[in-house]
Chains A and B, each alone.
Chain A
Amino acid sequence: GAVVSQHPSWVICKSGTSVKIECRSLDFQATTMFWYRQFPKQSLMLMATSNEGSKATYEQGVEKDKFLINHASLTLSTLTVTSAHPEDSSFYICSARDWGGGPNYGYTFGSGTRLTVV
């Protein structure tokens, strides 16, 4: 089945530094990837939709200059949290759709990255 690999699984960084999270589709081509953020005991909130070779589309209220998304190939999307602050501490999860999928094709999720900013 489809597999999405997300790294790192956890990271601790100092306030003011930047952190990059990678999301790779291992056995399929993902023209579209999605990035979510989840605070403790809350649901997943969609941050942005990433399309291969084009700029990401951000959801309302998400700062595009703070959360940089790059989708340079059909199998890799990255999320960079720039100048991280403690309030950015959260669980970040990516999701990918198969290139050949129609509107009812499934989504595959990465295992998530727990970011702690100290």
Chain B
Amino acid sequence: SQQGEEDPQALSIQEGENATMNCSYKTSINNLQWYRQNSGRGLVHLILIRSNEREKHSGRLRVTLDTSKKSSSLLITASRAADTASYFCATASGGATNKLIFGTGTLLAVQP
């Protein structure tokens, strides 16, 4: 089952620009996480934001969470060519099991 939808599906920007990706989800959550995946590879955990948090920063990453709108955004500032990858939001819910359900993903291409 797919919990979240992300937009845009694909985003192409120039190096140095900022990239913003949005994620919407359907049910109540314990936390929301963002992951990065390079083509055909495993996942890299970027950041986790708890349901009682509204904003979180990590290096060039800024994540917001609006539980009333069931939405989150990921901002990557001063993008680099190496940021080119697919980005997925994932929501953790379901009590003790707390399974992680992924959104549809955004394919980011940063042009040098």
Chain B residues, CB < 8 A from A44: 43, 88, 102
A60-B1, A93-B43, A109-B43 known; A46+B92 contact, CB < 8 A: no
Asked whether, in the complex, the Cβ of B100 is within 8 Å of the Cβ of A46, the reply is yes
Asked whether, in the complex, the Cβ of B40 is within 8 Å of the Cβ of A97, the reply is no
Tell yes or no: B41 within 8 A of A by CB.
yes
Chain A residues, CB < 8 A from B33: 106-107
B99's partner among A43, A49, A91, A111 (CB-CB below 8 A) is A49
Q: Secondary structure at chain B's binding surface: helix, strand, loop or mixed?
A: strand
Q: Please report which residues of chain A, range 47-94, place their CB below 8 angstroms from some CB of chain B when the two chains form the complex.
A: 49, 51, 57, 59-60, 91, 93
Q: Secondary structure at chain A's binding surface: helix, strand, loop or mixed?
A: strand
Tell yes or no: B48 within 8 A of A by CB.
yes
Asked whether, in the complex, the Cβ of A59 is within 8 Å of the Cβ of B30, the reply is no
Known A-B contacts: A93-B42, A111-B42. Give 4 more (CB < 8 A).
Answer: A45-B2, A103-B30, A106-B48, A110-B42
Q: List 10 A-B contacts (CB under 8 A).
A: A44-B43, A44-B102, A46-B100, A51-B97, A59-B1, A93-B42, A103-B30, A106-B33, A106-B48, A111-B41
Give A1's nearest chain B residue, CB to CB.
B45
B40's partner among A46, A91, A104 (CB-CB below 8 A) is A91
